[in-house]
């Protein structure tokens, strides 16, 4: 299957990944160290790891779509 810059599946995947990145960014506590670790809903390291993975996926989508990595419409 060849992909192009007009592939609707890649576009949909990109939108989903961007939405997940926004969700991960909004779930980060401003100062997790202010509370004991036993009261954290999420480990900040896990949240950071999730965001890195999502950004890697977004880069892969841009690569499949044929956009160079420095394209302003590519990675954010």
Cβ atoms within 10 Å, residue 57: 16
- Series of mean pLDDT values for 10-residue runs along the chain (76 residues): 65 94 80 75 84 94 77 50
Give me the residue spans of the domains in the chain: 1-26+41-76
Write down the pLDDT at residue 32.
64
**Alpha-carbon distance values, 54 to 1, 2, 3, 23, 58 (Å):** 23, 23, 20, 11, 6
Write down the pLDDT at residue 75.
47
pTM over 0.85: no
Write down the pLDDT at residue 73.
53
Write down the pLDDT at residue 1.
40
Do residues 66 and 3 touch, judged by C-beta distance below 8 A?
yes
Cα 75 to Cα 27: distance, rounded to the nearest angstrom: 21
Cα 20 to Cα 32: distance, rounded to the nearest angstrom: 21
């Amino acid at each position: 299957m060849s992909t192009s810059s007009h592939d609707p599946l890649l576009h949909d995947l990109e939108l989903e990944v961007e939405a997940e990145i926004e969700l991960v960014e909004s779930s980060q506590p401003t100062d997790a160290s202010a509370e004991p670790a036993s009261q954290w809903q999420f480990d900040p390291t896990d949240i950071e790891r999730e965001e890195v993975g999502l950004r890697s996926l977004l880069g892969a989508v841009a690569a499949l779509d044929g956009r160079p990595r420095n394209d302003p419409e590519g990675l954010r």
